[in-house]
Structure 1
Amino acid sequence: MDQVVLVLGASGLFGSHAARAFERAGWQVRRYSRARGDMAGAAHGADLIVNALNPPAYHHWARLVPAITQEVLGAAQANGAAVLVPGNVYVFGKEPGPWGVATPHRAHTRKGRIRAQMEAAYRDAAARGTQVILLRGGDFLAPGEARSLLDMVVLKHLARGRITTMGPPSVPRAYAYLPDMARAAVMLAEGRANLASYEDVPFPGLTFSTEELRAALQDRLERPLRMRPFPWWAMRLASPVWELARELSEMRYLYRMPHRLDNARFAELLPNFRGISLPDLAVQEVAALSV
C-alpha cells in the first residue's frame, strides 16, 4: 500500500517542492489548505505530516508559529503520524560554525527565539512518542521561482549585467537548493524506521559567497558582471511602516557572518546523496531568468 503524506503549506517554497518529490517517489500526497480547518481530520490515515506552513512575511510569528506547532503535533498524535519539519539557521545566533547537531541554540533575534521555542516543542513531543525529523537548511534556492531572496534581490538585475550583494561579497553562506532538500526529505522519511524519535539533520546544500556566485555566472554567460551593495539604509528608513523591511533588517547579520552547515549527520544517514553543484546552479539561474 502506498504511504500517505499530508503536506501543510503545499503552495509555499519548501512545501511545493516536497509535495512533488513525494509524488515522484510514489507516495499518496494530500495537500492541506488552512481554509479546510480540520488538520487532524485531513491527517487521518497519514503516515507522515510535512509542516511547511509559515506565516507570510513573518507576520505575527510570535502568535502563529506556536499555534501551528501545537496543531501539527495534535494532528500527528491523533493519527500516529510522524512529522517532518524544514528548519533554518536562526536558532544558532552568532555561534561559531560549522553549525551542526551539537551547536548550541543561542538565538539573539526575535525570530530566532521563536524558532528555538518551536524546535523545543518538537523535541518534547518526540520524547512523548511522536517521531520528528527536522531537516535544517540555509537560504532556499529555487531557480525560476521569484519568492527566493536570491532571485528576488541578488539576481534581480542579472539581465542588466548586475548582481546585488547583501553583505560583504567574500562572505560564504549556507544555501538549500529545494529540489535536493525535498529529495532528501523523502529519503529520510522512507528510512524513518531506522531513525531516532527526534532527528536534527543539517542539510549541507551549497555554501558560496556572492563573489563565487558571480564567477560561476560569468563563466556561464561569458561576460563580466558588475556588483552593487544592497541598500540596507532604505530598509532602515522603511522599517517603521513596512513589516518585511523591519524583519529582513533583523537578519542582516546572516549576510555579514560566514557560516555553513556541518554535513556529518547527513552523510551518516544518506551517504550516497549527491546534490547540485554551483556551476550547475548557475546554468539553471541563467535559464530561469532568461539572460
Structure 2
Amino acid sequence: MTQDPSRIALVLGAHGGVGGETAIALARHGWTIRALVRDPSKAPRRPDWSYVAGDAMDRETVVEAARGVGVIVHAVNPPGYRGWKTLVLPMIDNTIAAAQVSGARILLPGTIYNYGRKAYPLLAEGSPQKPKTRKGKIRVKMEARLEAASARGVRSLILRAGDYFGPSAGNNWFGQGLVKPGKPLKAITYPGQRGVGHAWAYLPDVAETFARLADREAELPAFARFHFDGQWDADGTAMTSAIRRVAGVPKLPIRAFPWGLLGLIAPFNETMRELIEMKPLWRNAARLDNRKLVAFLGEEPHTPLDQAVAETLAGLNVTLPMAARHALSPSRPRTSRAA
C-alpha cells in the first residue's frame, strides 16, 4: 500500500521526552512514524515505526530521511544542556534544509526561555523576546531562522510551553530536581519560592496538542506560533501539594533547592551553568497566554494535575508509600479545557 506523504512524520529525537510523546500522539492520530536515531539496534524499537540510522548534525542524512514526509518533528537537543552553543543552531539549519527539499512543515517544541523579564508575567506569542541567558538567546536565533525560512517557502509550527514533566520526560526539573527517579519518595526539593507562580507542561498533553495542530496543518500560516498554558501553578504550591496527595503523605518534607551548591560546581560543569541560568524563571512568575491556541482548536488538552503527577512518578520509578500505590487508579481518561 502506498503511503500518503502528507501523513508521514519524521521525528528527530523520537526516543527523547517530547519527541517520543509527540510521535506516539501523531501515530494515535493516524500518522506513520519515521524515527531518525543514531543506532537503531540500540534504540527501544516500536514495531509500527520505521527507523533511519543517522545523526541530526549530518545534513545529508536528515535531508534524505525527510524525503516523502509531511512534517518533521524537531525535538532533538544536546543531552544534559551541554553543547548548546555549538550544536543547536546547526541542527535546526539541517532540519530547515530538509524541509525545503521535502516540502514538510517543521514542528518545534518551544520554551519560555527566549523571553526576558520585561515580557512577564503573561507571555503572548508576539511578546518581545529579549532574554538575558545564553540558552534563551539561542532559542531566539532558532525561531528567527524558522521565520526567515518561511520567506523561502519553508513552513513551521512552534508550540511554546513551560517546564516539561511526564512519565517519559528527559531533561526536566521535575525528574532532576523535585524528586529522585528510581528512589523512594522521602522529600520534595523545590527550586522556586512560595507565592511565585510557575508554568508546567505535561508532555502527553503537549504531544496531543501538536497532533491536533498537525491534523490541521493546511489551515496554518507558513510561520505559526501557539502558546500552551499547561499546568499553571499560581503560587508555587500546586505541584508540591499534588505530589503530597498522590503519595498520600500530607506532610511530606519540602526542601529548598541547593542553588548555592550549584554555584560552586558551575565553574567546572556546563550542565550546572545552564541550570543556574534558569534561576530567574523560579524567582519570577511567567505564564503562557493560550487564547490563540484555544481559539484555533476550541480547547487545550489537559490532564488533571493529580493524574499527571501519578503517571509521572510511575514513569520515573519513584517508589511511593504502599497505601498510595494501592489507591492509584492505573488509568483515567484525559480531559480538555478551554482556558
| TM-score in terms of structure 2 length | 0.81
Give the corresponding residue for 2:13: 9
Preserved CA contact (<8 Å) 2:14 2:36: yes
Preserved CA contact (<8 Å) 1:135 1:203: yes
Residue 87 of structure 2 corresponds to residue 73 of structure 1: no
Letter in 2 for 1:32: L
Cα offset, 1:252, TM superposition? 0.7
Letter in 2 for 1:21: A
Residue of structure 2 aligned with 1:290, choices 307, 312, 319: 319
Cα offset, 1:137, TM superposition? 0.9
Query: Mapping of 1:248-263 within 5 angstroms?
Result: 248-263=275-290
SS at match of 1:240: helix
Cα offset, 1:97, TM superposition? 2.3
Give the corresponding residue for 1:21: 25
SS at match of 2:211: helix
Cα offset, 1:146, TM superposition? 6.5
Residue 77 of structure 2 corresponds to residue 54 of structure 1: yes
- Gaps spanning 5+ residues in structure 1: where? none
Give the corresponding residue for 2:140: 116
Give me the whole-angstrom Cα distance separating, in 2, the residues matched to 1:140 and 1:285.
Answer: 11
Q: Deviations over 1:145-200 (max 9, x none)?
A: 57432022112298444111102133211111111111110111110111111111
Residue 106 of structure 2 corresponds to residue 83 of structure 1: yes
Preserved CA contact (<8 Å) 2:17 2:170: no
Preserved CA contact (<8 Å) 1:66 1:118: yes
Query: Mapping of 1:92-131 within 5 angstroms?
Result: 92-94=115-117, 95-131=119-155
SS at match of 1:90: coil
Q: Are residues 71 and 207 of structure 1, via their aligned partners in 2, closer, same or farther at CA, if it must alter by over 3 Å? A: same
Residue 194 of structure 2 corresponds to residue 165 of structure 1: no
Preserved CA contact (<8 Å) 2:13 2:75: yes
Letter in 2 for 1:12: G
Give the corresponding residue for 2:238: 212
Preserved CA contact (<8 Å) 1:107 1:113: yes
- Gaps spanning 5+ residues in structure 2: where? 39-52, 321-339
Cα offset, 1:282, TM superposition? 3.3
Give the corresponding residue for 1:244: 271
Preserved CA contact (<8 Å) 1:142 1:148: no
Give the corresponding residue for 1:32: 36
Give me the whole-angstrom Cα distance separating, in 2, the residues matched to 1:146 and 1:82.
Answer: 24
Q: Deviations over 1:97-146 (max 9, x none)?
A: 21111211111111111110110000111122111100111111113657
SS at match of 1:14: helix
Preserved CA contact (<8 Å) 1:161 1:224: no
Give me the whole-angstrom Cα distance separating, in 1, the residues matched to 2:243 and 2:78.
Answer: 33
Letter in 1 for 2:241: A
Q: After superposing the two structures, state which structure 1 stretch, 273-282 or 234-243, moved more.
A: 273-282
Q: Are residues 286 and 114 of structure 1, via their aligned partners in 2, closer, same or farther at CA, if it must alter by over 3 Å? A: closer
Task: Give the number of aligned pairs.
Answer: 291
Percent of pairs with identical residues: 34
SS at match of 2:123: coil
Cα offset, 1:277, TM superposition? 2.1
Give me the whole-angstrom Cα distance separating, in 1, the residues matched to 2:223 and 2:79.
Answer: 27
Give me the whole-angstrom Cα distance separating, in 2, the residues matched to 1:281 and 1:46.
Answer: 32
Cα offset, 1:273, TM superposition? 3.5
Residue 296 of structure 2 corresponds to residue 269 of structure 1: yes
Residue 178 of structure 2 corresponds to residue 154 of structure 1: yes
Give me the whole-angstrom Cα distance separating, in 1, the residues matched to 2:200 and 2:83.
Answer: 25
Residue of structure 1 aligned with 2:158, choices 128, 134, 145: 134
Q: After superposing the two structures, state which structure 1 stretch, 279-288 or 217-226, moved more.
A: 279-288
Give me the whole-angstrom Cα distance separating, in 2, the residues matched to 1:248 and 1:56.
Answer: 13
Give the corresponding residue for 1:232: 259
Residue 213 of structure 2 corresponds to residue 198 of structure 1: no
Preserved CA contact (<8 Å) 1:39 1:75: yes
Q: Deviations over 1:47-71 (max 9, x none)?
A: 1111011112222212211111111
| TM-score in terms of structure 1 length | 0.94
